[in-house]
Amino acid sequence: MGMMGWRQKARIFPRRCIIFTGLIALLIVLFTLSLCLGDFPVTLMQVLAALIGRGDETVAMVILEWRLPRSGVAILMGAALGMSGAIFQSLFRNPLGSPDIIGFDAGAFTGATLALLAGYGFIGRMAGALGAGALTSVAVYALAWKNGVQGMRLILTGIGLGQLLAAVGQWLLLSAEPETAVSVSVWAIGTLNGVETHQFFVTLGFAVVLVPVGIAQTRALRQLELGDDVAQASGLAVERARRRLVVTGGALAALSTAVVGPIAFVALIAPQQARLFMHGSGVSPAAAGLVGAALLSSADIAAQHLFGETQVPVGTVMLCLGGVWLLWMLSAWKTG
């Protein structure tokens, strides 16, 4: 910031404010929309009445107990994934260094399937997903390490190991009961179907702690982006800062995987999109969190209402969206 003249500052600051305000407004619109839409149509006034504790009891139940937890979890998870992506992309200094590309999702899928086949319940499945996801990310990173980690090597290693784990998961599913197999494969794509009130509160509890912790490390992230030497010179304890960032980013990714399954592409798209909006060089966790929340909310609205009577897992919508986005991004990287 110090090197930046006041003129540039003056130009960038309003832009940043406008974009943050815009994103928050967009989130509020999406949130309200997701509360209104559904088989049981509710008007905007009814939503507001229910939120402040008035209005018809049936309507209040539909909104507060059925729709609110799901909409809330979508926003919180989107924010967690976006922030986690911002942290890892910065650490790897590579836009593709997000948890889904480096094998976290594939590992989580295998871990969850293993836990399920071993007969563990919901908690065991989460623990399996988190453990295996973290282990896979470490393995990908270690296998790609050769005098440092180069971007494309990391990505191809991640793709290779991801394919292998997907094959392991598919094979494990064969020995499961057909019913379980189908439900695991739905979870493996990531879904918000059937999110309940207590899950919302658990998520909220974690998010209240983790999100500020993530935002508080924005400055360290900026310093690390300049390179280790410069960061050290500017007074940052590099290794400690990096460890703290890895733990925060990992915890954010793990939280969302544990609650809704490994949803692809949010952690990849949100920070990049935020960076485009901001016209900046670095990825800001706060902006990435807002974009991630908006992204996952809109994807979930689509997953609930775009496909007729059946609700599809939000992960499938993200796969389609994300694939198209990646293609668009690849062509942009070529020219830009």
Residues that bind other proteins (CB under 8 A): 96, 143-144, 146, 152-153, 155-157, 159-161, 163-164, 166-168, 170-171, 173-175, 178, 181-182, 185-186, 189, 264-265, 307, 310, 312-313, 315-320, 322-324, 326-327, 330-331, 334
Query: Considering beta carbons, is residue 248 or 272 the nearer one to other proteins?
Result: 272
Query: Considering beta carbons, is residue 72 or 111 the nearer one to other proteins?
Result: 111
Q: Phi and psi for 149 in degrees, rounded to 5?
A: -110, 120
- Taking the complex as a whole, the smallest distance from the CB of residue 107 to other proteins amounts, in Å, to 13
- Taking the complex as a whole, the smallest distance from the CB of residue 54 to other proteins amounts, in Å, to 37
CA distance 91 to 269: 16
Query: Considering beta carbons, is residue 234 or 331 the nearer one to other proteins?
Result: 331
Query: Considering beta carbons, is residue 153 or 242 the nearer one to other proteins?
Result: 153
CA distance 288 to 292: 6
Query: Considering beta carbons, is residue 166 or 213 the nearer one to other proteins?
Result: 166
- Taking the complex as a whole, the smallest distance from the CB of residue 78 to other proteins amounts, in Å, to 18
- Taking the complex as a whole, the smallest distance from the CB of residue 141 to other proteins amounts, in Å, to 12
- Taking the complex as a whole, the smallest distance from the CB of residue 300 to other proteins amounts, in Å, to 14
Query: Considering beta carbons, is residue 89 or 157 the nearer one to other proteins?
Result: 157
- Taking the complex as a whole, the smallest distance from the CB of residue 296 to other proteins amounts, in Å, to 15
Mapping DSSP onto H, E and C, the string for the chain reads: CCCCCHHHHHHHHHHHHHHHHHHHHHHHHHHHHHHHCCCCCCCHHHHHHHHCCCCCHHHHHHHHHHHHHHHHHHHHHHHHHHHHHHHHHHHHCCCCCCCCCCCHHHHHHHHHHHHHHCCCCHHHHHHHHHHHHHHHHHHHHHHHECCCECHHHHHHHHHHHHHHHHHHHHHHHHCCCHHHHHHHHHHHHCCCCCCCHHHHHHHHHHHHHHHHHHHHCHHHHHHHHCCHHHHHHCCCCHHHHHHHHHHHHHHHHHHHHHHHCCCCCHHHHHHHHHHHHHCCCCCCHHHHHHHHHHHHHHHHHHHHHCCCCCCCCHHHHHHHHHHHHHHHHHHHHHHC
Query: Considering beta carbons, is residue 109 or 206 the nearer one to other proteins?
Result: 109
- Taking the complex as a whole, the smallest distance from the CB of residue 148 to other proteins amounts, in Å, to 13
Query: Considering beta carbons, is residue 229 or 309 the nearer one to other proteins?
Result: 309
- Taking the complex as a whole, the smallest distance from the CB of residue 304 to other proteins amounts, in Å, to 12
Radius of gyration of the chain (CA): 20
